[in-house]
């Protein structure tokens, strides 16, 4: 039996190695993308080496190389599992990069001691696997190589060249290349260093903004003693897919029910077409015309803190976003990041924010600014909702699906729309909960504002789904406002406010208005919730570089 295994072709020998990533995947040690990348890397490397060994006359050094490569692949697989069980994320996540590159020997020792238990079984598995693989396919090769008919293996040289080319070709894909440890470590180390330098610089600049002359002019509204301002920032959420804004599918039933107690702002454009650009513009003095001011001028968190607000940053949208957003979050008194998975590859349902949100609401501080950054409907849409909310996932026969088919969309493009709408449905539950939890406190000095960072193109124009700053669906975002006074219902005046045209790069003024902060930095003409709002004060609204209002 063992004899037979030794005569297996390089193809099967390489294939058998994939049992290791498969085992780690089935036991939950690796996710599907890690197991897949590991399999591709291992298969092409091993089949290339095994085939060359059949062809070349001198085999000894190739055998040594094979042993080293197999050992390295085993250790590397084990490392993936260890990192993932410790951090709950893949190796290219920012927390892992930090842990790998931002430690001194003392810390590393402590780290090893603390996490040794996570390393035992991956280490044991790969050691046993390595020993067996070595015994079966590498050391014993010499025995059968001696007495074989070499001419039968002549044709292998063509294959050896082909596999070498395939091995190189598999590295043309950037994700796959960076999975290879020889590329991974240098690339991420340099990248991490660059990001750290950049963040440090911005942190230093922002620390200095506390001395801005403008800040000295700021004051709280007379008599303002208690105030809780909640700002919820959505992700990849376009209002064209909300039933509250007239979409045919009932995607926002929870918020629909609250319609009469909410100000539903119907004509708001995103501050920018991408996450970082949008969030930095909404929360700082940066605008579309001056996008870099967030790096050097005071932002809403600095301003709020200066006037005695306790500031919270609760994010489920954090792990994948580095740099800018984490720099802003770090300005707050309490940054909390709930996402322990990669936002694109794995799911971290937004309801994980409820617990820290509840704690922030219960905080006894008189004045609070609570910023909640949800993951919303960010791709991949099917990772954004639990099964109970897959209402539209298999919906191919309702009016929306029929209309899409009539416009010539492919079934898979409709499937993307279906998953996106299901994500919006779950998000409706999350937003309703975030609002209800504030409402139920019956605090007269509280307010709640929701706006998305940008929308999403989900088969709206063709079969494409994803970020697409060229289309209006990427910019037309929902914006909701609630405060206890609205319980009495909207007045004729506030009903008119709902139609106010606005672009969110001026949101800073609306936030200052809610915080009750006046001064040279607050211009009520840019505050969409102010009686003195004046749209003519703002420059023409833009979608990228294209005017929106014709
Ligand atoms: Zn975004």
Q: Give residue 188 CA to ligand 1 midpoint distance, Å.
A: 23
Q: How far is the CA of 466 from the centre of ligand 1 (A)?
A: 11
The answer to whether residue 227 is domain-embedded is no
Whether 209 is in a domain gets the answer no
In this structure, the answer to whether residues 312 and 397 fall within a common structural domain is yes
In this structure, the answer to whether residues 172 and 266 fall within a common structural domain is no
- For residue 378, report the distance from its CA to the centre of ligand 1, in Å: 7
Give the least confident one: 110-119, 255-264, 367-376. 110-119
Q: Which of 49, 37, 40 is nearest to 15 (CA)?
A: 40
Q: Nearest-CA neighbor of 159 among 51, 63, 45?
A: 51
Q: How many domains does the chain divide into?
A: 2
CATH of the domain at 387: 3.40.720.10
Cα-to-centroid distance, 76 and ligand 1 (Å):
33
Please state the rounded mean pLDDT for residues 354-374: 97
Among 80-94, 173-187, 433-447, the least confident range: 80-94
Indicate the range of 208-217, 448-457, 516-525 predicted with least confidence. Answer: 208-217
Q: Give the tens place of pLDDT for each residue, 31-87.
A: 888 899 999 999 999 999 988 888 886 678 888 898 999 999 999 998 888 877 766
pLDDT band at 548 (very low <50, low <70, confident <90, very high): very high
Q: Residue 487: its pLDDT value, please?
A: 82
Q: Is 218 part of a structural domain of the chain?
A: no
Q: What are the tens digits of pLDDT across the range 312-353?
A: 999 988 653 456 788 888 889 998 888 765 443 456 899 999
Shared domain check, 261 and 316: yes
Mean pLDDT of 241-267: 96
Among residues 194, 223, 241, which one ends one of the domains?
194
Mean predicted confidence (pLDDT) in 129-135: 90
Tokens of 90: 């893949």
Q: Report how far ligand 1's centroid is from the alpha carbon of 377 (Å).
A: 9
pLDDT the model gives residue 271? 97
Instruction: Give the closest residue to 129 by CA, choosing from 61, 78, 64.
Output: 78
Angle between helices 60-87 and 32-55 (to 10 degrees): 180
- The residue behind tokens 């909390």 is 336
The Å distance, Cα 18 to ligand 1 centre, comes to 36
C-alpha 320 to ligand 1 mean position (Å): 11
Based on the fold, state whether residues 362 and 453 are members of the same structural domain. Answer: yes
pLDDT at 200: 80
Range of the domain at 179: 2-194
pLDDT at 201 over 90: no
Beta partners for 231?
371, 449
Per-residue confidence (pLDDT) for residue 356, from 0 to 100:
96
379 and 428 inside one domain:
yes
Pairing of the two strands 310-315 and 334-337: parallel
Q: Are residues 326 and 460 in the same domain?
A: yes
Residues 276 and 339 in one domain: yes
From 166, 194, 222, give the residue that closes a domain: 194
Q: Is the same domain home to 186 and 242?
A: no
The pLDDT value recorded for residue 9 is: 83
Q: Are residues 318 and 444 in the same domain?
A: yes
Q: In this predicted structure, what is the pLDDT of residue 210?
A: 80
400 and 495 housed in the same domain: yes
Give the count of beta carbons closer than 10 Å to the beta carbon of residue 177.
15
**Among residues 175, 194, 213, which one ends one of the domains?**
194
CA of 266 to the centre of ligand 1 (A): 20
| Cα 454 to middle of ligand 1, angstroms | 6
**Distance of CA 463 from the midpoint of ligand 1 (Å):** 21
Query: What is the model's pLDDT at position 344?
Result: 39
Mean pLDDT of 498-519: 97
CA of 43 to the centre of ligand 1 (A): 36
Asked whether residue 133 carries a pLDDT value surpassing 50, the answer given is yes
Residue 214 lies in a domain: no
Residue 265 near residue 528 (C-beta atoms within 8 A): yes
Range with lowest mean pLDDT among 138-152, 204-218, 402-416: 138-152
223 located within any domain: no
Residue 244 to residue 224: CA distance in whole angstroms = 33
Cα(502)–Cα(538) distance, integer angstroms:
8
Token code pair at residue 3: 């004899």
Q: How far is the CA of 68 from the centre of ligand 1 (A)?
A: 43
Indicate whether 329 and 189 sit together in one domain.
Answer: no
The owner of tokens 């840019």 is 526
Indicate whether 217 belongs to any domain.
no
Considering the domain architecture, whether residues 425 and 485 belong to the same structural domain is answered as yes
Q: Which of 21-30, 90-99, 117-126, 294-303 has the highest mean pLDDT?
A: 294-303
Q: Report the distance separating Cα 457 and Cα 379, nearest Å.
A: 11
Q: Is residue 215, in this structure, part of any structural domain at all?
A: no
219 inside domain: no
């Amino acid at each position: 039996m063992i004899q037979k295994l030794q005569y297996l072709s390089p193809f099967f020998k390489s294939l058998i190695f994939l049992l290791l990533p498969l085992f780690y995947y089935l036991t939950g040690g690796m996710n599907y993308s890690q197991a897949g990348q590991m399999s591709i890397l291992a298969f092409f490397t091993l089949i290339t080496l095994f085939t060359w060994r059949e062809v070349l006359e001198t085999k000894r050094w190739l055998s040594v190389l094979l042993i080293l490569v197999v050992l390295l692949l085993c250790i590397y697989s084990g490392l993936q599992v260890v990192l993932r069980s410790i951090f709950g994320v893949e190796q290219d996540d920012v927390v892992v990069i930090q842990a790998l590159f931002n430690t001194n020997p003392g810390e590393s020792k402590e780290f090893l001691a603390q996490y040794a238990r996570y390393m035992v079984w991956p280490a044991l598995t790969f050691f046993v696997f390595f020993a067996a693989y070595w015994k079966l396919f590498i050391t014993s090769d010499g025995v059968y190589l001696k007495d074989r008919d070499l001419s039968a293996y002549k044709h292998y040289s063509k294959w050896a060249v082909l596999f070498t080319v395939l091995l190189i070709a598999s590295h043309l894909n950037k994700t796959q290349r960076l999975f290879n440890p020889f590329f991974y470590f240098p690339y991420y180390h340099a990248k991490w260093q660059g990001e750290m330098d950049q963040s440090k610089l911005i942190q230093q600049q922002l620390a200095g903004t506390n001395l801005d002359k403008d800040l000295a002019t700021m004051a709280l509204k007379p008599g303002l003693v208690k105030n809780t301002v909640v700002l919820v920032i959505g992700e990849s959420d376009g209002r064209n897919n909300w039933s509250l804004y007239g979409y045919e599918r009932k995607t926002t039933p929870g918020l629909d029910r609250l319609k009469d107690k909410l100000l539903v702002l119907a004509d708001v454009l995103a501050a920018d077409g991408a996450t970082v650009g949008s969030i930095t513009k909404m929360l700082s003095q940066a605008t579309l015309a001056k996008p870099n001011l967030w790096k050097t001028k005071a932002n809403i968190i600095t301003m709020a803190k200066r006037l005695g607000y306790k500031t919270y940053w609760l994010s489920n949208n954090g792990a994948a976003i580095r740099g800018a957003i984490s720099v802003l979050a770090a300005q707050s008194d309490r940054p909390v990041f709930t996402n322990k998975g990669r936002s694109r590859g794995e799911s971290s349902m937004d309801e994980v924010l409820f617990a820290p949100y509840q704690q922030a609401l219960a905080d006894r501080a008189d004045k609070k600014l609570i910023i909640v950054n949800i993951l919303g409907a960010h791709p991949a849409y099917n990772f954004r909702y639990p099964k109970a909310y897959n209402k539209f996932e298999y919906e191919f026969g309702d009016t929306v699906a029929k209309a899409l088919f009539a416009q010539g969309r492919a079934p898979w493009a409709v499937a993307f729309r279906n998953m996106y709408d299901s994500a919006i449905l779950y998000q409706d539950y999350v937003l309703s909960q975030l609002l209800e939890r504030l409402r139920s406190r019956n605090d007269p000095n509280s307010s709640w504002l929701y706006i998305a960072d940008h929308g999403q193109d989900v088969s709206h124009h063709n079969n494409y789904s994803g970020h697409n700053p060229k289309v209006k669906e990427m910019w037309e975002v929902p914006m909701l406002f609630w405060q206890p006074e609205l319980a009495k219902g909207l007045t004729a005046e506030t009903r008119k406010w709902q139609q106010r045209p606005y672009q969110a790069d001026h949101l800073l003024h609306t936030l200052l208005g809610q915080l009750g902060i006046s001064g040279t930095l607050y211009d009520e003409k840019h505050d969409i919730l102010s009686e003195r709002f004046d749209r003519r004060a703002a420059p023409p609204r833009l979608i990228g570089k294209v005017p929106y209002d014709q």
